[in-house]
Amino acid sequence: MVAQTELTDDEIDRVFQALAAATRRDILRRTLTGEHSVSALARDYDMSFAAVQKHVAVLEAAQLIIKRAEGRERLVRADPAMIARARALLARYEEIWRARIDRLAALLAEPETPPSSTPTPPPASTI
């Protein structure tokens, strides 16, 4: 089985939409260190449990976290594989922009070429 490394356009959209909200970024950050119950996560936010569940669902749909049931609790943890895939995408974008900046810097560093030494003919007279 070959692991997929390239993100599809839909996956890219879901990842960046998920990361667009500060609460979801915080949930992802917290779940990077280990597994947490949705209830434990919800206690730290000034919003309803249902709102936190919706944030978790968005992160899960983007495959940034993995949710599993243990008894009555739902435990979530970050998915390092998807985070690595998103990081690889950002690294490719960075390479593109660094190459463009390097080309621009090279153009700006080139010495200015002197004007052509061929004399320009005088304008035609209209006598």
Q: Which of the two residues, 86 and 114, has the higher pLDDT score?
A: 86
The pTM of the full predicted model, rounded to 2 decimals, is 0.73
Distance, in Å, from the CA atom of 82 to the CA atom of 7, rounded to the nearest integer, reads 9
User: Tokens 């260190």 correspond to what residue?
Assistant: 33
User: How confident is the model over 41-75, as pLDDT tens digits?
Assistant: 999 999 999 999 999 999 999 999 999 999 999 99
Q: Is 60 exposed, middle or buried (0-12, 13-18, 19+ CB in 10 A)?
A: middle
CATH code for the structural domain at 9-82: 1.10.10.10
Distance, in Å, from the CA atom of 6 to the CA atom of 86, rounded to the nearest integer, reads 9
Answer whether 30's CB lies under 8 Å from 65's CB: no
